Structure 1
Amino acid sequence: MRSLIVLARLLDYPTLALQQAADEMRAVIEAESHLPWVRRQSLMQWIERIAESDLLDLQADYVALFDRGRATSLLLFEHVHGESRDRGQAMVDLLAQYRAAGFELDARELPDYLPLFLEYLSTRPEEVIAQQLGDIAHILARLTARLEEREADQALATATLLALIGAEDEITEHQKQVREEKRDDTPAALDAVWEEEAVRFSASSDQDCAVRSAAGQRRARQRQNEKERAEPVRIIDPATSVGRESHSH
């Protein structure tokens, strides 16, 4: 399902290559028969906004949305297991699932990173896609409610995933709870997390800690931004590739 690759790209860190692929992504969404026209139109309008926006502004907004606090994390198991040992085992199990399907990945992202998970699903039969999206529907619904609360376009992507399996109604169940939540991306909340992590720090070095964190990975990608600008985003038939140089199956 090529639309899953587009949604994965839309949820990933924005690059010039993403902007340059706007026409191709719009064509994929327009042809997606599993979605009603109104939803396809909303996604195509978002793609147009991405293409026309200043790239640095897009990147700054993305970092502010996903790298400050954990409420909007795109790491699926963080919403379920937090930092417990259960998360590690869940990662191992998911990685084994990828490999059993012939989907190999490098160390760039953790296995539960949502855009990566969507790339994997794009290679699976429709019944598997429906079952596995259903398994994370509660996470997607809570994430969508939080993104909507912050008026983020990325809510269109997560809501679309729920629409693909007819589970949009689950978003409503989480909206009231999200409105009552304390934001974890305020300066005070971020300071409290920093103090807690400083006490629990156990990485072998600052560099190791930075590489393991989502924010650290984002900063690493920013340092390679110029290189990425020269590489086109490819939206390719899932039967042959997921559209990323770093992943193959």
Structure 2
Amino acid sequence: MNRAVVYQAASICLSYPDDRVLGLADVVGRALDESAPAAAASFAPLLRWWETTPASEVQRSYVDVFDLSKRHALYLSYWTDGDTRRRGQVLADFKQRFRDAGLVLGDTGELPDHLPLVLEFARHRPDEGAELLQSYRASLELIRIALAERDSPYAGVVAAVCATLPGRSPEDRAQAMALAAAGPPAESVGLDPYDPRLLPLEPTGGR
């Protein structure tokens, strides 16, 4: 499996589905068929949905799933650190890692632990990116399980990312929580871990 192709495809598919992103559906599908056929089936439900659903509905669904629900938050350190002092340092570490790799993120309006940004980094540096993703394996698995529970076509995309990492995925939420061990630290400044105010309530970044 070509991990770089999987990471790039997932980065696109988990980004806000504006006209540019939706216009890449055919390109993404062909790239997966040619370079990562084992992963292609996991992306197929989302790509088919994109092709058969009005763009406005796809966009509304994305906001509903990812922006208005903390259960599917794409911010990796949110699952492990909540809004703690430690998370501030973690976000700084993400930024530094990207700078060291020569990756210019641009003004996306997103935090550096936003999964599409991390996947873009992993596309450029597959080994280092896989190591970073593995360090947030519990976050990824909790996102995957929550999306699957919602019957969201995005679940397959996250599952494909998890499949590039060593070890089997947890079968259920209890196993994923065990993987997360103690969970978010208790020390916080103002907001508790998993507080919905941690997440954007309105679309950002030109949506």
TM-score normalized by the length of structure 2 = 0.80
Q: Is the 8 A contact 2:75 2:113 kept in 1?
A: yes
TM-superposed CA distance for 1:42, in Å, is 3.7
Question: What amino acid is the match of 2:113?
Answer: D
2:157 maps to 157
Q: What SS does structure 1 have at the residue aligned with 2:206? A: helix
Q: Matched residue pairs, number? A: 186
2:117 maps to 116
Question: What amino acid is the match of 1:171?
Answer: P
Cα distance in 2 for residues equivalent to 1:175 and 1:15: 35
1:29 maps to 32
Say whether 1:221 aligns with 2:203: no
Question: What amino acid is the match of 2:121?
Answer: Y
TM-superposed CA distance for 1:32, in Å, is 2.6
TM-superposed CA distance for 1:61, in Å, is 1.0
Cα distance in 2 for residues equivalent to 1:150 and 1:45: 14
TM-superposed CA distance for 1:97, in Å, is 0.8
Cα distance in 2 for residues equivalent to 1:74 and 1:130: 17
TM-superposed CA distance for 1:165, in Å, is 1.8
1:16 maps to 19
Q: What SS does structure 1 have at the residue aligned with 2:72? A: coil
Q: Which whole-Å deviations, capped at 9, do the CAs of 1:58-103 have from their partners, x for residues lacking one?
A: 1111111112232211111111111111110001111111111111
Sequence identity of aligned pairs in percent? 23
TM-superposed CA distance for 1:177, in Å, is 7.3
1:85 maps to 85
Q: Is the 8 A contact 1:138 1:170 kept in 2?
A: no
Q: What SS does structure 2 have at the residue aligned with 1:71? A: helix
Q: What SS does structure 1 have at the residue aligned with 2:35? A: coil
After superposition, the Cα gap between the structure-2 partners of 1:174 and 1:103, relative to the gap in structure 1 and judged at 3 Å, is same
Q: Is the 8 A contact 1:8 1:116 kept in 2?
A: yes
After superposition, the Cα gap between the structure-2 partners of 1:121 and 1:219, relative to the gap in structure 1 and judged at 3 Å, is closer
Cα distance in 2 for residues equivalent to 1:171 and 1:50: 28
1:138 maps to 138
Structure 1: unaligned runs, 5 residues or longer: 179-199, 202-209, 223-249
TM-superposed CA distance for 1:28, in Å, is 1.0
Question: What amino acid is the match of 2:153?
Answer: D
TM-superposed CA distance for 1:220, in Å, is 5.0
TM-score normalized by the length of structure 1 = 0.67
Structure 2: unaligned runs, 5 residues or longer: 178-189, 192-196
2:97 maps to 97
Cα distance in 2 for residues equivalent to 1:105 and 1:135: 21
Question: What amino acid is the match of 2:21?
Answer: L
Cα distance in 2 for residues equivalent to 1:146 and 1:136: 16
Q: Which whole-Å deviations, capped at 9, do the CAs of 1:186-228 have from their partners, x for residues lacking one?
A: xxxxxxxxxxxxxx69xxxxxxxx9x95334x24522xxxxxx
After superposition, the Cα gap between the structure-2 partners of 1:45 and 1:170, relative to the gap in structure 1 and judged at 3 Å, is closer
Q: Is the 8 A contact 2:138 2:176 kept in 1?
A: no
After superposition, the Cα gap between the structure-2 partners of 1:109 and 1:177, relative to the gap in structure 1 and judged at 3 Å, is closer
Cα distance in 2 for residues equivalent to 1:19 and 1:52: 11
2:182 maps to none
